[in-house]
Structure 1
Amino acid sequence: MAAPSLQDGIEKAGSPMKLLWQPNAEPWTPEVVEREYTGWRQEQAAWHEGVALLNLSHHMYDMWIEGPDATRVLADHGANNFEKFAVGQAKQYVPVTRGGHIVTDGILAREGEDKYLLSGVPAAQHWVQYHAEKGGYDVGFVTDPSSAFRPGGADPKLFRYQIQGPSAVELVERAFGGPMPETKFFHSSPVVLDGRPLRALRHGMAGQAGFEFIGPWEHAAYVHETFLKAGEPLGLIQVGALAYTTPSVESGWIPSPVPGIYTDPELLEYRRHLPLFGIEGKRPLNGSFFSEDIEDYYVSPYELGYGKMISFNHDFVGRDALAKAKGETCRTKVTLVLDPDDVRTVVGEGQDPGFVLTYARHRVETGAGLVGVTMQSASIDPVGAVLAQTLIDSEHSAAGTAVTVVWGEHPGSGTDPEADLGFPRIRATVQPSPFNEHARTLYRRDR
């Protein structure tokens, strides 16, 4: 019997929302890595104040795209500029549907003239491979799922270790016996660690300095141990799965927006191609904001802050829709700073709530009613508050604007989306996104 497709799941459930809506869904955290090493508070502080080691080796889905048509298929189905894409450079890949809704982004690294590596949540990978095979592009694919889905418990093909924080450069120089090659932000350079070839990607999280080291899995244990030893005099702290999920809230990246693929009749074949038990069929929706229409959850790359990445110097799927939408975006990405007293009362029942993480879509309101929706909320201990990445109506996006967040779980279909369910409110203040000033200025400028 063939495995069920995404379209099978939608038809059996009755609608995309009936398939995806799961109140009180557990938030995703990276697999395999320890949840905490020294405690999430200390781990968050490490990349703000000292130096942190993060293991990204297990939760990324990698897909190598190689062949004469590699650039063409990526450009035909992505909004990025491919005329300015150097070997060794990485970009946030932005694939969109013909309606201009994002499919979900990924990190695209150019490894050769006709070779790329696309990493992250596998929705973008599914999109590219499907259209490449359907369109007859001269290109091949090699995939490496995340460790939770890799057959037979096999090791990853690559390791990825990030060294982040104010002391990151010093630690790296200790490990390598000297400075890294001069490298632009989000570019990589080949380096050698005791005879072992790696790539050093100039990277940062929450605005802090750092590198991501990538290499063949056979060297993973040695590289990891070398970093631990070099970092010991600097107070290196390993970051666990809980703290790892939180820097995106400061750096302004919204993970895993809903792919805009569930309703277009022209994507029926695509939905029949996708497995039900994949990211598109099993990433849950929940929170106090509920709509029967999945299209109310679709987002534009402009809303996500990706406008500068969009290039109209080539034709691509969704180009006309993005050209039409340019300058007309109704929602703005902001950071909400939730009132700590309200968080203690509502979330912690009068006590310190501890670690808070949710990808719930919570209603954001003013006296005028609904004005926005949260996308990810998390405790940021160095800030002393829960922050929420939020899409909000542009007229309410000015820093300092007072709003409230409706904290609760709508039951889903069968209950009026606008019903007053007695959910508590948390006061919040609008601030820019990214929240971190370095990430908001130098980080975005350098990209």
Structure 2
Amino acid sequence: MPSPSLQDGIDTAGSPVGLLWKPGAEPWTPEVVEREYVGWRQEQAAWHEGVALLNLSHHMFDMWIEGPDATRVLADHGANNFEKFAVGQAKQYVPVTAEGLIVTDGILAREGADRYLLSGVPAAQHWVRYHAEKGGYDVGFETDASSAFRPGGGPPKLFRYQVQGPLAKELVENVFGGPMPETKFFHTADVRLDGRDFKALRHGMAGQAGFEFIGPWEHAAAVHDAFLTAGEPLGLVQVGALAYTTPSVESGWIPSPVPAIYSAPELEDYRRHLPLFGIEGQRPLNGSHFSPDIEDYYVSPYELGYGKLIHFGHDFIGRDALLAARDADRRQKVTLVLDPDDVRRVVGEGNDPGFVLTYARHWVEAEAGAVGVTMQTASIDPVGTVLAQSLVDAAHAVPGTRVAVVWGEHPGPGTDPGADLGFPRIRGTVQPSPFDRHARTRYRRNG
């Protein structure tokens, strides 16, 4: 008996929202690594004030795309500029549907003239591979699932270690015996450590300086130990799974938006191609923002801040829709700084709530009513409160605007989506996204 498809799951549940709505769902955190090493507060402080080491080796899916049509298939199904994409460069890949709505992003690295590596949540990988196979492109694929989903277990093909924080440069120079090669943002340099060759990706998180080191798993332990040893005099802190999930709230990246694939009739074959027990069928929806219409959860790349990545100099799926929407009014990405007293009252029942993390969609309200929705909410101890990465109407996106977050878990289908369920409100103030000034003004200046 064949495994059920995503479309089978939707049909059984009665609707995409019926399938995905799971009140109180536990938020995702990276697998395999420790939840905390020295405590999430100290780990957050490390990349703000010192130096932090993060292990990204286990939770991302990787897909290599290689062949004469590798660039063409990616360009035909992504909005990025492939005319300016150097070997050794990485980009946020932006695949969209025919309606110009995001499928879900990923990090795309060009490893050769006809070879790319697409990493991250596998929804973008599924989209590219499906269209490549259906379209007869001359291209092959090699995949490596995350450690929690890798068939047969075993280690990943690659290690990934991030070194972040004000002391990152000093740590890296101590490890390699000198400065890194001059490298633009999101470009890689070849490095060698004790005879081991791997890559250094110029990267950053929450506006802090740093690198991501990527190489064959056989070198993982030696490279990790080298950073731990050299970092000890600098107070190096390893970052666990809890703290790892939070810098995106400061840096303005919205992880895993709902793929806009559940409703278009022309994508039924795609939904029948996708397994039910994959990211598209299992990533939950929850929070106070409930709608029976899945299209109310779709987002455009413009809303996510990807407008500068869109290149209209080539044809691709969704080009006409994006071109038509380029100057349209839309929600804007902002950071909500939540009132700490309200956070203690509502989330902590009068006490310090400790670590807060949710990907739930909560309504954002103003005097006029609902004006937006939260996308990710997390405790940021160096800021002293909880931040919520959100999408709000342009009229309420001005820094300093006062709003409120409706905090609660709507029961979902069967309840009037407009019913007043008595959810408490948490006051918040609109601030820019990215929240971190360095990330907002200088993060990609040399990209």
What range is the shorter-chain TM-score in? over 0.9
Give the partner amino acid of 2:425.
R
User: Contact between 2:64 and 2:142, CA under 8 Å: does it hold in 1?
Assistant: yes
Q: Secondary structure at the match of 2:204?
A: coil
- Quote the residue 2:231 is aligned against: 231
Give the partner amino acid of 2:304.
L
Q: Aligned equivalents of 2:415 and 2:117: distance in 1?
A: 44
- The answer to whether structure 1 residue 283 and structure 2 residue 283 are counterparts is yes
- Quote the residue 1:421 is aligned against: 421
- Quote the residue 2:86 is aligned against: 86
- The answer to whether structure 1 residue 408 and structure 2 residue 408 are counterparts is yes
User: Contact between 1:362 and 1:373, CA under 8 Å: does it hold in 2?
Assistant: yes
- Quote the residue 1:148 is aligned against: 148
Structure 1 length as normaliser, TM-score? 1.00
- Quote the residue 1:54 is aligned against: 54
**Deviation, structure 1 residue 153:** 1.4
Give the partner amino acid of 2:326.
K
Q: Secondary structure at the match of 1:272?
A: helix
Q: Aligned equivalents of 1:7 and 1:341: distance in 2?
A: 45
- Quote the residue 1:98 is aligned against: 98
- Quote the residue 2:117 is aligned against: 117
- Quote the residue 1:382 is aligned against: 382
- Counterparts in 2 of 1:190-201, with a 5 A limit? 190-201=190-201
User: Contact between 2:108 and 2:118, CA under 8 Å: does it hold in 1?
Assistant: yes
Q: Aligned equivalents of 2:443 and 2:274: distance in 1?
A: 35
User: Contact between 2:62 and 2:144, CA under 8 Å: does it hold in 1?
Assistant: yes
- The answer to whether structure 1 residue 298 and structure 2 residue 302 are counterparts is no
User: Contact between 2:198 and 2:215, CA under 8 Å: does it hold in 1?
Assistant: yes
Structure 1, residues 205-246: CA drift from partner, whole Å, max 9, x if none? 000000000000000000000000010000000000000000
Gaps of at least 5 residues in structure 1 are none
Q: Aligned equivalents of 2:349 and 2:120: distance in 1?
A: 36
Q: Secondary structure at the match of 2:91?
A: strand
**Deviation, structure 1 residue 154:** 1.1
User: Contact between 1:20 and 1:283, CA under 8 Å: does it hold in 2?
Assistant: yes
- Quote the residue 1:310 is aligned against: 310
- Quote the residue 1:157 is aligned against: 157
- Quote the residue 2:344 is aligned against: 344
- Counterparts in 2 of 1:428-443, with a 5 A limit? 428-443=428-443
**Deviation, structure 1 residue 301:** 0.2
User: Contact between 1:303 and 1:329, CA under 8 Å: does it hold in 2?
Assistant: no
Structure 2 length as normaliser, TM-score? 1.00
Gaps of at least 5 residues in structure 2 are none
User: Contact between 2:185 and 2:203, CA under 8 Å: does it hold in 1?
Assistant: yes
Structure 1, residues 33-70: CA drift from partner, whole Å, max 9, x if none? 00000000000000000000000000000000000000
- Quote the residue 1:186 is aligned against: 186
Give the partner amino acid of 2:11.
E
Q: Secondary structure at the match of 1:203?
A: strand
- Quote the residue 1:391 is aligned against: 391
Structure 1, residues 359-413: CA drift from partner, whole Å, max 9, x if none? 0000000111100000000000000010000000011000000000000000001
Q: Secondary structure at the match of 2:266?
A: helix
**Deviation, structure 1 residue 14:** 0.3
Q: Aligned equivalents of 2:327 and 2:277: distance in 1?
A: 37
- Quote the residue 1:19 is aligned against: 19
Q: Aligned equivalents of 1:188 and 1:329: distance in 2?
A: 37
Q: Aligned equivalents of 1:223 and 1:174: distance in 2?
A: 13
Q: Aligned equivalents of 2:46 and 2:327: distance in 1?
A: 39
Q: Secondary structure at the match of 1:152?
A: coil
Q: Secondary structure at the match of 1:47?
A: helix
**Deviation, structure 1 residue 446:** 3.6
Q: Aligned equivalents of 1:359 and 1:255: distance in 2?
A: 9
Q: Aligned equivalents of 1:330 and 1:216: distance in 2?
A: 43
Q: Aligned equivalents of 1:141 and 1:231: distance in 2?
A: 38
Q: Aligned equivalents of 1:165 and 1:240: distance in 2?
A: 15
**Deviation, structure 1 residue 4:** 0.5
- Quote the residue 1:131 is aligned against: 131
User: Contact between 1:302 and 1:329, CA under 8 Å: does it hold in 2?
Assistant: no
User: Contact between 2:53 and 2:162, CA under 8 Å: does it hold in 1?
Assistant: yes
- The answer to whether structure 1 residue 368 and structure 2 residue 368 are counterparts is yes
- Quote the residue 2:220 is aligned against: 220
Q: Percent identity of the aligned residues?
A: 82
Q: Aligned equivalents of 1:187 and 1:260: distance in 2?
A: 30
Q: Aligned equivalents of 1:445 and 1:287: distance in 2?
A: 36
Q: Aligned equivalents of 1:343 and 1:239: distance in 2?
A: 25
Q: Aligned equivalents of 1:289 and 1:149: distance in 2?
A: 30
Q: Secondary structure at the match of 2:220?
A: helix
Q: Aligned equivalents of 1:227 and 1:440: distance in 2?
A: 29
User: Contact between 1:96 and 1:103, CA under 8 Å: does it hold in 2?
Assistant: yes
- Quote the residue 1:243 is aligned against: 243
Give the partner amino acid of 2:150.
R
User: Contact between 1:35 and 1:242, CA under 8 Å: does it hold in 2?
Assistant: yes
Q: Secondary structure at the match of 1:445?
A: coil
**Deviation, structure 1 residue 329:** 3.6
**Deviation, structure 1 residue 444:** 3.8
Q: Aligned equivalents of 2:446 and 2:356: distance in 1?
A: 31
Give the partner amino acid of 1:273.
H
- The answer to whether structure 1 residue 263 and structure 2 residue 263 are counterparts is yes
User: Contact between 1:286 and 1:360, CA under 8 Å: does it hold in 2?
Assistant: yes
Q: Secondary structure at the match of 2:208?
A: coil
Q: Aligned equivalents of 1:401 and 1:72: distance in 2?
A: 44
Structure 1, residues 282-321: CA drift from partner, whole Å, max 9, x if none? 0000000000000000000000000000000000000000
Q: Secondary structure at the match of 1:170?
A: helix
Give the partner amino acid of 2:169.
V
Between Structure 1 and Structure 2, how many residues are aligned?
447
Q: Aligned equivalents of 1:192 and 1:175: distance in 2?
A: 10
Q: Secondary structure at the match of 2:335?
A: strand
Q: Secondary structure at the match of 1:228?
A: helix
Give the partner amino acid of 1:427.
R
**Deviation, structure 1 residue 340:** 0.1
User: Contact between 2:185 and 2:444, CA under 8 Å: does it hold in 1?
Assistant: no
User: Contact between 2:29 and 2:245, CA under 8 Å: does it hold in 1?
Assistant: yes
Give the partner amino acid of 1:409.
E
**Deviation, structure 1 residue 352:** 0.2
Q: Aligned equivalents of 2:190 and 2:130: distance in 1?
A: 32
Q: Aligned equivalents of 2:445 and 2:103: distance in 1?
A: 24
